[in-house]
A and B are shown apart, each in its own frame.
Chain A
């Protein structure tokens, strides 16, 4: 996400872990709520939350591409291919059953909620902030280095793979045509990519060691985020609401 949205929007500006707790609480609520209707209402709430956080465009696109596709296939598979007695309609060799459809909707809305919460969380939180917050909670700095450097490396290597593919094309390697022709490009592109990346690690090892990467003292940060009082209040409110929902679910 862009830094500007994060600063101007009150929800997006919350501490990463506070947002994480909210996401987990909503996802867990969606799982324990009974009935398809309540789960659907919960999903509407996730949508409203994303819109209020100013990331609805990103949210909608990612939900459509991941959970949306799953949901549709899930409904098709479960409606037509599970055993059930109540037949809704049938054509050719397919018979739609009510039991399958209800199961698919129930599972589908759980997936949509859990997936939607995670998508919302990563849309309003930069990975850098999240990892830093985790590090403050005791994640080792080496683990956070692995995560952050991976996130940096993916776009770099992707760009380089395109460059290599173009270079190989210039040398006469076919990248279009039938399956076998296309499959043959895979190795000449991937191998130079991997080799250069692995060679690069040796230099990076020296660079990191020169800066005391393996030193076992507490590291300091150039970039820092603070947990404010509003974040603590929000965490407490989320916890209380979630406990109330759990109690309500057990009693009702």
Chain B
């Protein structure tokens, strides 16, 4: 009985309804960065938001589905579902241990998520795509390789820079959204109370 209740808690109807919104935020956020020509990937804000509010498993589901749905148009997204899975899990766990409630904690969390993203995305880029990512990043990686750096190291160094900036901004945007969400909405999510308490202080 307890197990069943916990399952319901993880995927309550509010969470089921939050996931499509979060995926749409990821996709629209990604498109907005290209409309506004911002050279940072902000396509994981929704995943971090779900992680902060509803925990690791819903966030991982959000991440994987984001990549699969983007994969309908561009299949090169699909292998990175692995990366999104771990971004979701880490965002959820960071929220569980109250790491998303203060500015310095957010900065640390952003770096942790960026590290997770870099470590999981580098092998995919190197082994699935031979070092090519299709974006401006691969040009920088190619430039590094021209100076004699190995492919793995070149891709890793490009990712660690772009991901750190992207994930730091994403974490802060997600936090900003949670801060302006009304308490009656927050309380309906598993970790929502943490942010209500954080507001009171």
Contact = CB atoms under 8 A, between A and B. Distances in A.
Interface residues of A, number: 65
Interface in A72-99: 73-74, 76-78, 80-82, 93-94
Interface stretch (B32-40, B82-90, B91-99, B115-123): B32-40
A60 to B, nearest CB: 14
Given A198-B181, A202-B185, A65 B74 contact: yes
Contacts of B114: none
Q: Report whether over half of chain B's contact residues are helix, strand or loop; otherwise say mixed.
A: helix
Contacts of A66: 73-76, 134
Query: How extensive is the interface on chain B, given as a class?
Result: 35 or more
A8 B128 CA distance: 37
Contacts of B181: 195, 198
Interface of A: 62, 65-67, 69-70, 73-74, 76-78, 80-82, 93-94, 103-104, 107-108, 111, 114-115, 118-119, 122, 127, 142, 145-147, 149-151, 153-154, 156-158, 161, 175, 179, 182-183, 185-187, 189-191, 193-195, 197-202, 204-205, 208-209, 213-214
B38 A179 contact: yes
Given A153-B23, A200-B21, 19 more contacts: A70-B132, A70-B133, A93-B146, A111-B129, A118-B75, A119-B75, A146-B16, A153-B20, A153-B21, A154-B69, A179-B37, A182-B37, A187-B176, A193-B25, A201-B14, A201-B21, A202-B14, A208-B13, A213-B13
B25 A190 contact: yes
20 contacts: A62-B73, A77-B138, A80-B146, A107-B129, A111-B129, A118-B78, A119-B75, A122-B72, A142-B16, A146-B20, A182-B37, A182-B38, A183-B36, A185-B36, A190-B32, A198-B181, A200-B21, A201-B17, A202-B188, A214-B13
